[in-house]
Structure 1
Amino acid sequence: MKYLILLYALIYWGIGMAQSIDNSELYKNYREDQFYASVTYNLLNSKPDGLSQSGFSTGFHIGFIRDMPINSDRDFAVGLGIGFSSNSYNQNLGITEEGKEIRFDILNENELNVSKNKFSTYLIEVPLELRWRTSTATDYNFWRIYTGFKLGYMIYNSTKLTSNIEDVKLYNIDAFNRFQYGLTLSVGYGTWNFHAYYGLNSIFNENARLDSDTLDMGIVRLGLMFYIL
């Protein structure tokens, strides 16, 4: 009987040690929130007089961020990644072409009977984040605050103007800043997270002029961020 009791004790101890090792390895190696998808409402910042947005300007963003914990509890981390961003901006800025020159004008949408006027941008982005969360290796609902910086490179742009006077479609014009960069913030609990991006430079470069003034407009994106392991 005493040998049987000893055998049970050894088995119980062995199972406990195995679970301890498994949990230790789990906590040692786990990472959080490495894939992301976001939907945003896009705003133009510092607009010139007369320029306004209409309709719903949307953004769609997906990517991967390598989560790199920097403390033993793994609730603080640095994230570095790569992603893709698609954005549209509905507004009353007419972008047309005269010869080889790109022209910018504020449109009277009622007079021209404008049915569509927007420009769109497509970027490869590199996000860099400082991350804090209340997660553990086995808890998937937790608070998070991720703040950081995002650098984007515009790989493509397009404009579309449809009115009773003319239809104009332009592609890859050189009036946009190829490099876009700004500050980011994601805050939330579980699946639902508020996300914001504040652009630090103009979406247009010095080639974009309204009358004699440079179009120095930034962008702001507000929306929801979804993270996946």
Structure 2
Amino acid sequence: MKYVIIVFCYLIGVTLCTAQEETIKEVDSLYREDQFYAGISYNILINKPIGVTQSGFSFGFDFGFIRDMPINKARNLAFGIGLGYSTSGYNQNILMTRGEDNNFNYTLLDDSQTYSRNKFNTHVIEVPIEFRWRTSTPVDYDFWRIYAGFKVGYLVSNVSRYKGDLGDIKQHNNGDFNDFQYGLTLRAGYGTWNFNVYYGLTPLLSDKAQLNGSPIKMNDIKVGLVFFIL
């Protein structure tokens, strides 16, 4: 009887190991990484006209879904394409006001004017495209990653807000903003903490937006953290 129990336990152990191996194989053949994301960023304006400065903290938030498509057997190389949303705020000293002709005027706020707020916000639907490298395995959720890519966005709305000596001025849907925006992206890190940077290649405003007779061709750089969820 003792030998029967030993043989029975042995057979159960072999069966469990085999089932575990088959499960791992099944997971290995199907698993995908980092399909949902959420990030926060600090927004920096570049190529600013003379006299334009930023003040306070200009931050942004984005989230979305990226379809992960591994391209090798180890599944540590992949392409990703997705859909997301971002909102970004920019504290600066360009006052945006709507004229009687419904066009926008742009003037610089100088040091003699007192104001507590002057910023504009954008709301963008985005399509991120990435080439992905990582050290992941089917059972390892903490790994190194480098995701480099490109992001195209469509501006769905914008708002500018001033609050100070001139009153409380709030303007919606300024048509001088560029509807389509795109730029380069890089996400890299280990485990939960991942560095995220976006370099905008498109000016935020079109040539219609002019300050002192010259187009306001400001781009932006976003630097922050991104968090991934399977």
Q: TM-score, normalised by structure 2?
A: 0.95
Aligned residues: 228
Deviation at 1:9, TM superposition (A): 4.7
Question: In structure 2, what is the equivalent of residue 107 of structure 1?
Answer: 109
CA contact (8 A) 1:174 1:207 kept: no
Deviation at 1:106, TM superposition (A): 1.3
Instruction: Write the deviation string for residues 12-67 of structure 1: whole angstroms up to 9, x where unpaired.
Output: 33322211111100111111111101000001110010000000000000111111
Structure 1: 5+ residue stretches without partners:
none
Deviation at 1:206, TM superposition (A): 1.7
Q: C-alpha separation between the residues in 1 aligned to 2:41 and 2:113?
A: 29
Instruction: Write the deviation string for residues 134-183 of structure 1: whole angstroms up to 9, x where unpaired.
Output: 11111111110001000111101000111212322110010100111000
Question: In structure 2, what is the equivalent of residue 227 of structure 1?
Answer: 228
**Structure 1 residues 86-97: aligned runs within 5 Å:** 86-97=87-98
Could you tell me which amino acid in structure 1 is paired with residue 103 of structure 2? E
Q: C-alpha separation between the residues in 2 aligned to 1:77 and 1:124?
A: 23
Percent identity (aligned): 49
Q: C-alpha separation between the residues in 1 aligned to 2:139 and 2:204?
A: 42
CA RMSD of aligned residues (A): 1.5
**Structure 1 residues 12-27: aligned runs within 5 Å:** 12-27=13-28
Deviation at 1:2, TM superposition (A): 11
Deviation at 1:6, TM superposition (A): 5.4
Structure 2: 5+ residue stretches without partners:
none
With 5-14 and 51-60 compared, the bigger mean Cα shift is at 5-14
Instruction: Write the deviation string for residues 61-87 of structure 1: whole angstroms up to 9, x where unpaired.
Output: 011111111100010111111111010
CA contact (8 A) 1:182 1:201 kept: yes
CA contact (8 A) 1:133 1:144 kept: yes
